[in-house]
Amino acid sequence: MSEFWTTEVHRDIYEMKYKSLKKLYSQKSEYQQVDVVETKGYGKMLLNDGLVMVTERDEFVYHDMIAHPALFVHPNPKKVLVIGGGDGGTAREVLRHKGVEKCVMVEIDELVVNACKEFIPQTSCVFDNPRLELIIGDGVEYVANTKEKFDVILVDSTDPIGPATPLFGVDFYKNINLILNDDGIVISQAESPYYEVEAQTSLLKVLNQVFQNLFIYNFSNLTYPGGLWSFSFATKKYHPIEDFNEARVKDSELSFQYYNPRIHRSSFSLPQFMLNNCKGLIKN
Amino acid sequence: MSEFWTTEVHRDIYEMKYKSLKKLYSQKSEYQQVDVVETKGYGKMLLNDGLVMVTERDEFVYHDMIAHPALFVHPNPKKVLVIGGGDGGTAREVLRHKGVEKCVMVEIDELVVNACKEFIPQTSCVFDNPRLELIIGDGVEYVANTKEKFDVILVDSTDPIGPATPLFGVDFYKNINLILNDDGIVISQAESPYYEVEAQTSLLKVLNQVFQNLFIYNFSNLTYPGGLWSFSFATKKYHPIEDFNEARVKDSELSFQYYNPRIHRSSFSLPQFMLNNCKGLIKN
């Protein structure tokens, strides 16, 4: 079989090309183009609208870092909501925490779930977990209508174009606030601090209108443009470092490939250009 | 003029392509192919043998992080040696420290210096600094023969292929050790913790044979494969965090785009997979 390139185009200035062995899945849903490719260097790769979402090689980074900081700061998270995250990796990490009684996951695009179920068991294995409630539906509507309340909410969205656009708006976060317990924590995918300064600060401004305590933290992904990427950490009560109880990490008996207590703390230390860009918006 | 792509190939699994406007310089020296390209999104870009060394957009990251951690841990660095670093950016950051009386820079390839002098003044501006002594010559021979001694030595090398190969060997570091003052610090370009695990641990093993106190720290470059990159920190006396005197940063009145005291400390916090890979070699 002949090899080919899978290409992610970034703003007409940059392309990332992955040598590929086989196209495993390619379908257009009502929301987006969904592809799964077998690459030569990164295992199986999921792309939505041509943007790399997940690869088997580095998905541990993103999923460690979206889930564990909040779940180790909140002293007793029992109910967790994941918005998006159709590959399953985020919910998988959430449910490694034995104290979590229920994880509700609301993914708008069933094709993403189906593609990952068929081709990326490394993340989609979570769909067999009895503590997971998978809802195929619109996260915006879910948070507007649900009567449930949550300790931790993880907004595992794609970029603020296409189906995920409302997930970057103030109405969405006002509803998030209403279904979040009084000591709750909200984590959101917060874009690239190098390439998407406007999208990042725009999200922070929205979060700032709703949450008094707002922070941002970084991680280094292998297959996102520029490598450095951010999550926001919005909280009603807890401080992400002062209220981090390192002993809980050890007590959990969980092992990680990326996350550890020193990474937890240091991920909130920002390069100077980020501090300048986010001035007045965050409490890092 | 028609646009074109400048491509960096990574191990036959990955390509990084930069939309380019103009080829400014292209010469083959006795050591390597040297190119300077005007890109659409990153300003001017220097490539050696097709690998991106420096771009105007992100060179501040690498140059902040190779220079300032050592220069703010050593309490009074007066003499600094840079091996390599032909673009000038490392020496530029060194000489922003007013206490540094002399920076010797030994670059093997005059074409790199000439190309940057002509096309990348953002880094090559340092070549006008009277406190810089620029030597075009072999760094391996220089450290074997010089009678000078240094407080800080920065090994700003390319990868361990081509002209930089001896800069990753134990004989080189034994000589480095001899010309380093008793409280000296040696920083070395230490490759990608994601992609070049073998090169990284191999360098650490070499350094470990010569220096008792060895650490590794990370930074996030925009235009290196995978983003995350490392420097090693080898020291005869000082600890990179315990002996870091934050007040000296403020007293210096220097401003930075990447470096700051919290980044200094947190850059030594490693993802778990790096701790596992470097086990027994480092004191982080």
Answer yes or no: do A40 and B13 touch at CB < 8 A.
yes
Residue B171 lies in a domain: yes
User: Across all residues in chain A, what is the average pLDDT?
Assistant: 97
Query: What pLDDT does residue B1 have?
Result: 66
Question: Rounded to an integer, what distance in angstroms lies between the CA atom of residue A184 and that of residue B44?
Answer: 46
Q: Are residues B136 and B232 in the same domain?
A: yes
| pLDDT band at residue A251 under the 50/70/90 scheme | very high
- Which residues of B form the catalytic set? 156
Q: Are residues B117 and B15 in the same domain?
A: no
Q: Are residues A23 and A71 in the same domain?
A: no
CATH of the domain at B27: 2.30.140.10
What is the number of CB-based contacts under 8 A between chain A and chain B?
A: 121
Residue A283 lies in a domain: no
Residue B284 lies in a domain: no
Helix, strand, coil percentages (3-state) for chain A, rounded to 5, are: 35, 30, 35
Question: Rounded to an integer, what distance in angstroms lies between the CA atom of residue A120 and that of residue A99?
Answer: 26
Query: What pLDDT does residue B160 have?
Result: 84
Q: Are residues A137 and A272 in the same domain?
A: yes
Q: In the listed set A30, A55, A80, which residue is the last one of a domain according to the structure?
A: A55
Residue B24 lies in a domain: yes
Total number of domains constituting chain B: 2
Residue B283 lies in a domain: no
Q: Are residues B44 and B185 in the same domain?
A: no
Q: Which of B5, B222, B226 sits opposite A222 (nearest CB)?
A: B226
Q: In the listed set B14, B30, B55, which residue is the last one of a domain according to the structure?
A: B55
Q: Are residues A77 and A108 in the same domain?
A: yes
CATH of the domain at A85: 3.40.50.150
Q: Are residues B24 and B73 in the same domain?
A: no
Residue B159 lies in a domain: yes
Residue A151 lies in a domain: yes
Q: Is A17 on the interface with B (CB under 8 A)?
A: yes
Q: Are residues B152 and B180 in the same domain?
A: yes
Across the range A144-168, mean pLDDT stands at: 92
Residue that the structure tokens 């999921």 belong to: A46
Judging contacts by C-beta atoms under 8 Å, the chain A residues touching residue B279 are none
**Do A119 and A25 form a contact (C-beta atoms < 8 A)?**
yes
Q: Are residues A197 and A233 in the same domain?
A: yes
Residue that the structure tokens 């001035």 belong to: A279
Distances (CA, A) of A82 to A47, A156, A189: 20, 7, 12
Query: What pLDDT does residue B158 have?
Result: 87
Q: With b meaning 16 or more CB within 10 Å and e meaning fewer, what string describes A153-166?
A: bbbbbbbbeebbee
Q: Are residues B49 and B161 in the same domain?
A: no
Give the distance from residue B234's alpha carbon to the nearest chain A alpha carbon, in angstroms.
Answer: 21
Q: Are residues B15 and B147 in the same domain?
A: no
Q: Residue A1: is its pLDDT beyond 70?
A: no
> B12 lies in which domain range?
4-55
> Which residues does chain B have with pLDDT short of 70?
1
Answer yes or no: do B13 and A5 touch at CB < 8 A.
no
Answer yes or no: do A258 and B272 touch at CB < 8 A.
yes
Q: Are residues B139 and B215 in the same domain?
A: yes
Query: What percent of chain B is modeled with pLDDT above 90?
Result: 95
Give the distance from residue B199's alpha carbon to the nearest chain A alpha carbon, in angstroms.
Answer: 18
Q: Is B124 on the interface with A (CB under 8 A)?
A: no
The pLDDT tens digits of the residues spanning B185-240 come to: 999 999 999 999 999 999 999 999 999 899 999 999 999 999 999 999 999 999 99
